[in-house]
Amino acid sequence: MAHSVHASLAGHATNPARFHQHIDVTLTHAADGGLAISYAIHGLNMDLHVPTPHAHAPADALWRTTCCELFLNPLGQAGYGEFNFSPSGQWAYYNFLDYRQYAPATTNGPAPRIEVKREENLLQLDVALSKSALPTGDTLRIALAVVLESNDSKRGYWALAHPPGQPDFHHHAGFVLTLGAMGFRPARWP
């Protein structure tokens, strides 16, 4: 049985005024253990830089421009994984042993499937991750985020929750959902 949750991301307080987009995300935990994420960015305008399509392949530093992100932390562990999904169709995976302590790694499963839909004022990324691409653990803490870049290289940041100070998607305050045997629930950090 599939479990789903729908959430709206909050813009960071320091976002430039031109970043007025509304971003919704739907997460679905499929019966086969995989995860589907649908990012819907409403309020596109001509000033937003949207990467052009490339070959569906891994790429580094996607977070430097318009990009959707997913962070997964197995309950009881300091480490976490970060996925980046670009409207170009490119993607990245990063493994961290603890807060921003990078450790080279690749995902175990196949590449994520990314479908991009663009309409007049909507950009939607639909992403599917297999169960084998997810970190192992009975319960996963989840953080969702989006970076938008304007054509003049200004950036805006959205997340389920922001810690105090500058935008920081790696901070534990952003991991506000859990996924376990009972589906999606609000998370608490120890």
Indicate if the pLDDT at residue 85 is higher than 50: yes
Show the domain range for 73.
Answer: 3-186
Q: Give residue-wise pLDDT tens across range 158-177.
A: 999 999 999 999 999 999 99
Distance (Å, rounded) from C-alpha 68 to C-alpha 77?
24
Please report, for the domain that includes residue 83, its CATH number. 2.60.40.1190
145: left (phi over 0), alpha (psi -120 to 50) or beta: beta
Distance (Å, rounded) from C-alpha 88 to C-alpha 46?
17
pTM: 0.93
Across all residues in the chain, what is the average pLDDT? 90
Q: Give residue-wise pLDDT tens across range 105-158.
A: 766 678 899 999 998 899 999 999 999 999 888 899 999 999 999 999 999 999
Q: Which residues pair with 101 in a beta bridge?
A: 98
Q: Give the pLDDT band (50/70/90) at residue 57.
A: confident
Residue 122, SS3 per DSSP: strand
For the chain, the domain total comes to: 1
**Strand ranges (E), the chain:** 3-11, 22-29, 35-42, 48-49, 67-74, 80-85, 91-98, 101-102, 113-118, 122-129, 140-150, 155-159, 177-180, 183-186
